[in-house]
Chain A
């Protein structure tokens, strides 16, 4: 059990770096530092936090940094409503609160000795960046065989973490496939929606696990492709979202069927989801 008196108390953090991810200014990445070093917590790729802005409220956001990056916590925030807009008003040096780590994580133990395929679209790439950086870390890279990333967005501008993607593209120990929905001048990588590009690349399903995160429509069309490629539903993982408040399984807001996404998830295997009648 977590020390109970602190359950709902946000830990103070400070913005150490901001990166504008898209020219339309709706996506920004925030690196946060703990105000008090002793508050630092351990986490795993796939977990999330509640970011708290006093006077506005809290928003659940996936942790985009990897546990191997020990000096900051990273989040990429899409501006949609009250809290995410307030986060977008923050400047370097400003303080906010963080509650976490919450939820479960990608089953990196099960992935050991296996190939890992990552399929993603849009800004849902956040916790997958965490996973990739974690697996690429020299302390872990030896634990995994081939790492393949298939990542797409509507336009090149909307791919997040562009500098990092470019670096990965030059590395030998990871295969990166980037795609945009419609071709534009100067784009020499894949063109087409993530599901069809996945089909084209056809990552081998033997000894492989796949993690797929993105907009619901992308997931919907990618899952049959993965099944066709021979991935059993036990080896297909995804991360779910729901409107959340407590993040700890008490407020009753985020259930699908008998599972609470904040507590039993957000990471689920397709096999687990197939046992739940409620649509995800």
Chain B
């Protein structure tokens, strides 16, 4: 696979090239929040960032999405029809989350056409983390600050240039078109692996993550859930920011003749999530819901998709109003 170098001063040209063929999304700061937004001009983007506050999953799985429109009893699906998406500057943890969501939305008997339409032809250009955050723990969950899983191309910031490594055929063919990019030298590759080593060292020491699933098998009645639930506000911030959460609600907007059916992110921390028509609620206590969140990420998803349901991005740690720290919870699980 090709390993080239993109001079930072030529980044603008590359971005302009991408915007011709793709709907390009890259990190942009707006009112103090960094999110992946549609790029019109190269100046809008910032690659000098730790991670986006919101998860880039929202490009392929929008928070609110029309799935069909109806008129007089007939309905039509509504699919994204724009240019294929390209994401530039995706962090390795988030790129991994796309792989998990893709498994959820495309396997087990049914395909989700809305996810597939958006995700199938997307180009993912990742950006390695040289500088991690105190809340990062991708190394606990099969990830790495320079991980390539889920990317077509990985960029690594080498100072004056980006090292650009093709990961997939799609990435390779894009790099082949970059006639004026230099080949990366041995020294460049060595510098990149040094940077990876430094980044890895800055992460918290690993825990025995492989034991989490089995531990949780035996923790249904553990007091830990009640303990966490005592503090948790059931606000759902953790789920809305989480790159792997995929739960949604379906609602109709309109009258019986005309309108649309939409889907919206939903959250297992809310009591109404499981409340049935009869009034019965199988998860009526906050502790039931806290348990669902951790069981889903660190036990059920592993059973169903053979992957962790968390990528260690740390967003839920940063934004939880009562400082519930998933890393502390994982340690407590291993200690029981």
Given contacts A57-B252, A252-B246, A253-B274, contact A258 B110 (CB under 8 A): no
Chain B residue nearest in CB terms to A254: B274
Within 8 Å of chain A (Cβ to Cβ): is B237? no
Give the shortest distance, in Å, between B314 (CB) and chain A (any CB): 22
Q: Contact check, A258 vs B299: say whether CB atoms are below 8 A apart.
A: yes
Q: Contact check, B113 vs A7: say whether CB atoms are below 8 A apart.
A: yes
Q: Which of A6, A54, A258, A277 touches B256 (beta carbons < 8 Å)? A: A54
Which residues of A are found within 8 Å of B276, using beta-carbon distances? Answer: 241-243
Q: Contact check, A248 vs B110: say whether CB atoms are below 8 A apart.
A: yes
Since A7-B111, A250-B104, A251-B247 are in contact, a sample of 4 more A-B pairs with Cβ atoms closer than 8 Å, ordered by chain A residue number, is A250-B112, A253-B247, A263-B109, A279-B282
Chain A residue nearest in CB terms to B274: A243
Which residues of A are found within 8 Å of B46, using beta-carbon distances? Answer: none
**Most chain B CB atoms below 10 A, which of A249, A250, A277:** A250
- How far, in whole Å, are A55 and B262 apart by their CA atoms in the complex? 11
Q: Contact check, A246 vs B250: say whether CB atoms are below 8 A apart.
A: yes
- How far, in whole Å, are A58 and B67 apart by their CA atoms in the complex? 14
Chain B residue nearest in CB terms to A78: B277
Secondary structure type dominating chain B contacts: mixed
Give the shortest distance, in Å, between A69 (CB) and chain B (any CB): 24
Which residues of B are found within 8 Å of A277, using beta-carbon distances? Answer: 217, 220
Which residues of A are found within 8 Å of B73, using beta-carbon distances? Answer: 12, 54, 95, 97
- How far, in whole Å, are A256 and B292 apart by their CA atoms in the complex? 9
Give the shortest distance, in Å, between B252 (CB) and chain A (any CB): 5
Q: Contact check, A97 vs B277: say whether CB atoms are below 8 A apart.
A: no
Q: Contact check, B220 vs A55: say whether CB atoms are below 8 A apart.
A: no
What 1/0 mask marks residues of chain B from 72 to 103 whose CB sits below 8 Å from any chain A CB? 01111101000000000000000000000000
Given contacts A81-B277, A258-B304, contact A8 B256 (CB under 8 A): no
Q: Contact check, B252 vs A56: say whether CB atoms are below 8 A apart.
A: yes
| 29 residue pairs A–B, Cβ–Cβ below 8 Å | A1-B111, A4-B116, A6-B77, A7-B110, A8-B68, A9-B75, A54-B256, A54-B257, A55-B257, A57-B251, A80-B277, A81-B277, A243-B275, A243-B276, A245-B250, A248-B110, A248-B112, A249-B108, A250-B105, A250-B110, A250-B112, A251-B246, A251-B248, A251-B266, A252-B248, A252-B296, A253-B266, A255-B292, A258-B303
Q: Contact check, B266 vs A8: say whether CB atoms are below 8 A apart.
A: no
- How far, in whole Å, are A243 and B251 apart by their CA atoms in the complex? 14
- How far, in whole Å, are A81 and B277 apart by their CA atoms in the complex? 6
Give the shortest distance, in Å, between A247 (CB) and chain B (any CB): 9
Which residues of A are found within 8 Å of B250, using beta-carbon distances? Answer: 8, 57-58, 245-246, 251
What 1/0 mask marks residues of chain B from 253 to 275 whose CB sits below 8 Å from any chain A CB? 01111010101001010000111
- How far, in whole Å, are A56 and B246 apart by their CA atoms in the complex? 23
Q: Contact check, B77 vs A9: say whether CB atoms are below 8 A apart.
A: yes
Within 8 Å of chain A (Cβ to Cβ): is B30? no
Please classify how large the interface on chain B is, using the bins under 10, 10 to 19, 20 to 34, 35 or more.
35 or more
Within 8 Å of chain A (Cβ to Cβ): is B182? no
Q: Which of A54, A84, A216 touches B277 (beta carbons < 8 Å)? A: A84
- How far, in whole Å, are A242 and B256 apart by their CA atoms in the complex? 26
Chain B residue nearest in CB terms to A280: B282
Within 8 Å of chain B (Cβ to Cβ): is A257? yes
Within 8 Å of chain A (Cβ to Cβ): is B181? no
Which residues of B are found within 8 Å of A32, using beta-carbon distances? Answer: none
Q: Contact check, A55 vs B111: say whether CB atoms are below 8 A apart.
A: no
Q: Which of A54, A250, A255 touches B296 (beta carbons < 8 Å)? A: A255
Within 8 Å of chain A (Cβ to Cβ): is B162? no
Give the shortest distance, in Å, between A257 (CB) and chain B (any CB): 7
Where the two chains meet, the residues of B that have a C-beta atom closer than 8 Å to any C-beta of A are 67-68, 70, 73-77, 79, 104-105, 108-113, 116, 217, 220, 245-252, 254-257, 259, 261, 263, 266, 268, 273-278, 280, 282, 292, 295-296, 299-300, 303-304
Q: Which of B111, B112, B259 touches A54 (beta carbons < 8 Å)? A: B259
Give the shortest distance, in Å, between A144 (CB) and chain B (any CB): 28
Which residues of B are found within 8 Å of A9, using beta-carbon distances? Answer: 68, 75-77
Q: Contact check, B274 vs A251: say whether CB atoms are below 8 A apart.
A: no
Q: Contact check, A258 vs B77: say whether CB atoms are below 8 A apart.
A: no
Q: Contact check, A55 vs B259: say whether CB atoms are below 8 A apart.
A: yes
Chain B residue nearest in CB terms to A97: B75
Chain B residue nearest in CB terms to A12: B73
- How far, in whole Å, are A246 and B74 apart by their CA atoms in the complex? 19
Give the shortest distance, in Å, between A280 (CB) and chain B (any CB): 8
Interface residues of A in 221-280 (CB under 8 A from B): 241-243, 245-246, 248-253, 255-258, 263, 277-279
Q: Contact check, A253 vs B254: say whether CB atoms are below 8 A apart.
A: no
Q: Contact check, B110 vs A278: say whether CB atoms are below 8 A apart.
A: no
Within 8 Å of chain B (Cβ to Cβ): is A2? yes
Which residues of B are found within 8 Å of A251, using beta-carbon distances? Answer: 246-250, 263, 266
- How far, in whole Å, are A6 and B111 apart by their CA atoms in the complex? 10
Q: Contact check, A8 vs B255: say whether CB atoms are below 8 A apart.
A: no
Give the 9 A-B residue pairs with the shortest CB-CB distance, closest first.
A252-B247, A277-B220, A258-B300, A80-B277, A248-B110, A55-B256, A4-B111, A258-B303, A4-B113
Within 8 Å of chain B (Cβ to Cβ): is A10? yes
Q: Which of A12, A53, A241, A263 touches B108 (beta carbons < 8 Å)? A: A263
Q: Contact check, A249 vs B109: say whether CB atoms are below 8 A apart.
A: yes
Which residues of A are found within 8 Å of B113, using beta-carbon distances? Answer: 4-5, 7-8
Q: Contact check, A80 vs B278: say whether CB atoms are below 8 A apart.
A: yes
